[in-house]
A and B are shown apart, each in its own frame.
Chain A
Amino acid sequence: MGEMTLVEVRGLRLALGGRTILDDVSFAISAGEVVGLLGPNGAGKTTTLSVLSTLRRPDAGTVVVAGHSVSDAPAAVRSALGVVPQSIALYPSLSARENLWFFARAARLRGGAARAAVDRALALVGLADRASDVVATFSGGMQRRLNLACGLLHAPRVVLLDEATVGVDPQSRERILDAVRGQATRGAAVLFSTHLLEEAERVCDRVVLLDHGRVIASGTPAALVHELGEGLRLTLVTRDPLPAGWLQGAAAGSAAGAPVVTPRGHEAQVTLATLADAALVLERATATGGDVLEFHLHQTDLQDVFLRLTGRELRD
Chain B
Amino acid sequence: MGALGPLFAKDLRLLWRDRAGLFFLMIAPMVVIAVAGFSLANLYGADPSGQTAYELPFVNEDGGTLGRSIRERLANETSVRLQPVATRAEAEDLVRRKRAGSALVVPAGTEAALDRGEPARLVLYVDTVKYLERLNVRAKLSELREDLARERATRLADDARAERERVAQQLGELRSRTLRAHDELEAAWNDAAKRRRGAEASIARARDDVAQALDARLAPLRAYLDQLAAKRRAFEDWLAELRRLAGSRADAIPPPPAFPEPPPMVSAAGALPKLALELPALPALPKLDVPDVALPPPPAAVRASLGVDEVNVGGGAVTMNTFDQNVPGFAVTFILLGMLLGVSLGLVDERDWGTLDRLRAMPVSLTQVLVAKLGARFCVGVAQMMVLLAVGWLCFGVSLGPEPWALVLPTIGIVFAGAAFGLVVAGATRSREALLPVGSIVIMTMAAVGGCWWPIDLEPRWMREVALAFPTTWAMDAFNDLMMRHRRHEAALVPTAVMLTYGLVYLAAGVALYRRRLR
Contact = CB atoms under 8 A, between A and B. Distances in A.
Interface in A72-107: 75, 78-79, 81, 83, 85, 87-94, 98, 102-103, 105-107
B439 to A, nearest CB: 21
A53 interface: yes
Interface string B1-36: 011011101100110011000000000000000000
Contact of B13 (A81, A89, A98, A160): A98
A105 B362 contact: no
Given A93-B18, A106-B7, A83 B358 contact: yes
A53 B361 contact: yes
Contacts of B365: 75
Given A93-B17, A94-B14, A98-B13, A75 B363 contact: yes
B360 interface: yes
A107 B359 CA distance: 9
Interface string B351-378: 0011101111111110000000000000
Contact of B361 (A78, A102, A105): A78
A89 B360 contact: no
B355 A90 contact: yes
A78 B363 contact: yes
Interface-centre pick from B5, B9, B362, B363 (highest chain A CB count, 10 A): B362
A155 to B, nearest CB: 14
Contacts of A108: 2-3, 363
A151 B355 CA distance: 11
Contacts of B2: 108
Contact of A83 (B13, B17, B361): B361
Contacts of A55: 357, 360-361
A85 B361 CA distance: 10
Contacts of B360: 53-55
A161 to B, nearest CB: 12
Nearest to B3: A106
A150 interface: yes
Contacts, number: 72
Given A75-B363, A79-B363, A92-B353, A103 B358 contact: yes
Interface string B43-72: 000000000000000000000000000000
A106 B357 contact: no
Contacts of A75: 363, 365
Given A78-B363, A94-B13, A150 B353 contact: no
A78 B368 CA distance: 15
- Could you say which of A79, A98, A102, A160 has the most chain B C-beta atoms within 10 Å of its C-beta? A102
Interface residues of B, number: 23
Q: For chain A, which range describes its interface: under 10, 10 to 19, 20 to 34, or 35 or more residues?
A: 20 to 34
Nearest to B16: A93
Contacts of B353: 88-92
Nearest to A110: B2
B357 A89 contact: yes
Contacts of B6: 102, 105-106
A50 B13 CA distance: 29
Given A93-B17, A94-B13, A94-B14, A87 B354 contact: yes
A88 B363 CA distance: 20
A75 B362 CA distance: 8
A110 B243 CA distance: 178
Interface string B93-124: 00000000000000000000000000000000
Interface centre among A53, A79, A105, A106 (most CB of B within 10 A): A106
Nearest to A93: B17
B17 to A, nearest CB: 4
Nearest to A160: B361
Contacts of A92: 353
Contacts of A83: 358, 361-362
A108 B7 CA distance: 12
Q: Which of B10, B18, B361 has the most CB of A within 10 A?
A: B361
Contacts of A78: 361-364
Nearest to A76: B363
B355 A89 contact: yes
Nearest to A85: B354
A134 B362 CA distance: 23
A91 B18 contact: no
Interface in B370-425: none
A89 B14 contact: no
Contacts of B361: 53-55, 78, 81, 83, 160
Nearest to B354: A89
B361 to A, nearest CB: 4
Nearest to B362: A106
B363 A94 contact: no
B2 to A, nearest CB: 6
A77 B239 CA distance: 183
A160 B354 CA distance: 15
Nearest to B10: A102
Nearest to B350: A91
B3 A91 contact: no
Nearest to B15: A93
B354 A107 contact: no
B363 A91 contact: no
A54 B518 CA distance: 12
Contacts of B354: 85, 87-90
Contacts of A98: 13
Interface string A260-274: 000000000000000
B64 to A, nearest CB: 72
A134 B17 CA distance: 10
A168 B285 CA distance: 132
B3 A85 contact: no
Interface of B: 2-3, 5-7, 9-10, 13-14, 17-18, 353-355, 357-365
Given A55-B361, A89-B357, 10 more contacts: A50-B357, A54-B360, A75-B365, A83-B362, A89-B358, A93-B17, A103-B362, A105-B3, A106-B6, A151-B358
16 contacts: A53-B357, A75-B363, A79-B363, A81-B361, A83-B362, A89-B354, A92-B353, A102-B6, A103-B358, A106-B3, A106-B6, A106-B364, A107-B363, A108-B363, A134-B17, A150-B358
Interface of A: 50, 53-55, 75, 78-79, 81, 83, 85, 87-94, 98, 102-103, 105-108, 134, 150-151, 160
Which 10 pairs from chain A and chain B are nearest by CB? A89-B354, A105-B6, A93-B17, A53-B361, A89-B358, A83-B361, A87-B354, A79-B363, A102-B10, A78-B363
